[in-house]
Structure 1
Amino acid sequence: MMESSVSICPVPSEQLPINEYQELRESWFFSWATLDWVSYVRKMAWVWGWSWLLTGPVASASFAPQKAPGQFILCGAALSSFFIGLVLLQLYLGWMYVRDRLACVNVIYEESGWYDGQCWTKPPEVFTRDQLIATYEVQPILQRLQRTFAILVLSFGIGSLIWIIL
């Protein structure tokens, strides 16, 4: 029964929420959020470490490492964490978009790509499938990203307290 509903679907294949979800899941960048916890933390640490190539010189220009090593490290770490924040924001927005598309009963799409927006109402079986994917596949990814944001904010708070002590 689902085959017939999907086969008469007017939405171009690349704009179907299930295909957008699959594309995001298989993409190089967005798949980071789906990795096991250790691999996910490694990716975030990798971004943080490499961002020191940009933030290290800025931090050293502000705080000489020989004279103020604590401020240098905290400044560089905070600036590098800003890059982690940007990565997390991009991941979160991408997954949130797909989750919203999966959870909505109507699919807005473009037929020719020139401002001819159309709307297709998902049949019940397609809507149910998409709801299940949004709830059990995408929502845990979003929760992981939210927890990571919380840890990042907590680390900024701890770094601020250490800064005051120094």
Structure 2
Amino acid sequence: MIRSSVFNCPVPTEQQPLNEYEELKSSWLFRDCTLTWRKYITKIIWAWGLSLIFAAPVAATSFPLHKDLSHFLLSSAAGGSVGVILLLTRLYLGWSYIRSRLYSPIIFYEESGWYDGHNWAKPQDILDRDRLIVSYEIRPILQRIKLTFVGLVGLFIAGSIVWQLL
């Protein structure tokens, strides 16, 4: 029954929300969000470490290692988190876009270019399927990203408190 509705869909294959979701889920950057918590956190720590490579020399110019090691460590850790924040923002925006395309009852699509856009109303069976995907697969991913943001804010607050105590 779903297949017959999909075959009548005027939206080009690459612009159909389900295909966009599958493509996003398999892309190298976004698939990390679907990993287990342990693997996901490991990837985030790797991203932080790579960002730290760029942040540490900047922190060293303000807080020389031999004079102020604790402030150097805190400022380089905070600077390293900038890369993680940018990464998480990109992940959140990508998954939010797919969530809105799947959840929406009407899909905007372009047939051959930006000048000939159209809207297509999803049949109820397609809409139900897409909303189930949002509920059971995309919402947990967005919650994970939000929770990671909250963890970073908590670490930043803890680092600020330690900074004030030094």
TM-score higher than 0.5: yes
Task: Verify: 1:161 aligned to 2:154, yes or no.
Answer: no
Kept in 1, the 8 Å contact 2:99–2:138? The answer is yes
In structure 2, what is the equivalent of residue 37 of structure 1?
37
CA distance in 2, matches of 1:101, 1:93: 12
Number of aligned pairs?
A: 166
In structure 1, what is the equivalent of residue 77 of structure 2?
77
Deviation (angstroms), 1:117: 1.2
Query: Residues 74-113 of structure 1: matches in 2 within 5 Å?
Result: 74-113=74-113
Deviation (angstroms), 1:145: 0.3
Query: Residues 1-166 of structure 1: matches in 2 within 5 Å?
Result: 1-166=1-166
CA distance in 1, matches of 2:164, 2:8: 64
For structure 1, which runs of at least 5 residues remain unmatched after alignment? none
Using the TM superposition, name which of 117-126 and 107-116 deviates more. 107-116
Which structure has the higher relative contact order (CA within 8 Å, separation 6+)?
Answer: 1
TM-score (norm 2): 0.98
Q: Which runs of 4+ in 1 moved over 6 A?
A: none
Give % identity. Answer: 49
CA distance in 2, matches of 1:113, 1:43: 37
TM-score (norm 1): 0.98
Query: 1:38-65 deviations in whole A, cap 9, x for unaligned?
Result: 1101100001111121111000001001
CA distance in 2, matches of 1:149, 1:114: 35
Deviation (angstroms), 1:4: 1.4
Kept in 1, the 8 Å contact 2:48–2:83? The answer is yes
CA distance in 1, matches of 2:78, 2:114: 43
CA distance in 2, matches of 1:143, 1:114: 33
Deviation (angstroms), 1:8: 1.1
SS at match of 1:118: strand
Query: 1:127-159 deviations in whole A, cap 9, x for unaligned?
Result: 000000001100000000000000001111000
Kept in 1, the 8 Å contact 2:51–2:82? The answer is no
Kept in 1, the 8 Å contact 2:59–2:72? The answer is yes
AA aligned opposite 1:74: L
Deviation (angstroms), 1:114: 2.7
CA distance in 1, matches of 2:75, 2:45: 17
